[in-house]
Amino acid sequence: MENTLKKKSSFTGISRVPSGVFGLDDMIEGGFEKNSLNFICGETGSGKTLFAMQFAFFGAQKYNDNSILISLEETKEELRRRMGRFGFDLAALEASGKLLIYSYSPKEVNKFIEDLPQIEATIKKNKISRAAFDSLTTYALFFENPGRRNIEMLSLIDKFRKMECTVLMTSELKLTSKIVEAEEGITIEHLADSVISIYSIRKGDIRDLGLEVIKMRGTNHSRKIAPMRIVPTGMIVYPDMPFIK
């Protein structure tokens, strides 16, 4: 069975963690850096949850990594049903113990915060090496006070950074906007090791999806916006095809 630890970039010797999104790894020297913290940014409906799910699902199923998905947006049942349409049998992987799913409604962010120490302990105990968090935007929305919101966001990112895991966090806001809309307006992209942006661009009477690797520390990544499609088997990126013709 293919194992992440065996995937090393030929130049750097850095272990790579395949993304689980078909085609993307060819743009990033084989995958995310092991134990890095990565942001997936995109508009509503661009496919962030599907990306997070493929990272965790294929991580467990194809690459034998124990994986966790924390959702603040969809119930386990919704996720199982929606992902079932792409042929991803979440329940079977959950039953095997390779995939853990924690789900909270957007109003239950305080419960997630309460559970976090236990989640951190579970990650350690179960040797979980991939963690997907969906989404930073919902987490931020929970805090009315901008000052508190900043502190909570920074603290959450810091906690994920300290886990011995490759982490993927989704965010709805565009790269150019302030991720935290505080008065003093801080951005947090610089805190991530990589930022991938998904675009949904209207061309005539249809919308096309495109994916761009904005940055990936330590990686000679593609600088091209690649077309992306959501097909019956999941999300696919086409690194060699033109996005804007």
Ligand X SMILES: Nc1ncnc2c1ncn2[C@@H]1O[C@H](COP(=O)(O)OP(=O)(O)OP(=O)(O)O)[C@@H](O)[C@H]1O
Contact set with Mg ion (CB under 5 A): 49
Return the number of the residue (15 or 132) whose C-beta is nearest Mg ion: 132
Stretch binding ligand X (CB under 6 A), from 12-20, 37-45, 55-63, 147-155: 37-45
Member of 49, 67, 150, 194 binding ligand X (CB under 6 A): 49
Rounded CA Rg of the chain: 17
CB of 33 to ligand X, least distance (A): 24
User: With the CA atoms of 71, 20, 198 and 185 taken in that order, what torsion angle do they form, in degrees rounded to the nearest 10?
Assistant: 50
Residues that bind ligand X (rule: CB under 6 A) add up to a total of 12
Return the number of the residue (30 or 195) whose C-beta is nearest ligand X: 195
Tokens of 172: 């709805």
Return the number of the residue (17 or 136) whose C-beta is nearest Mg ion: 136
Q: Is 176 in the site for ligand X (CB under 6 A)?
A: no
Return the number of the residue (96 or 233) whose C-beta is nearest ligand X: 233
202, β-bridge pairs: 207
Q: Is 44 in the site for ligand X (CB under 6 A)?
A: yes
Q: Is 84 in the site for ligand X (CB under 6 A)?
A: no
CB of 242 to ligand X, least distance (A): 22
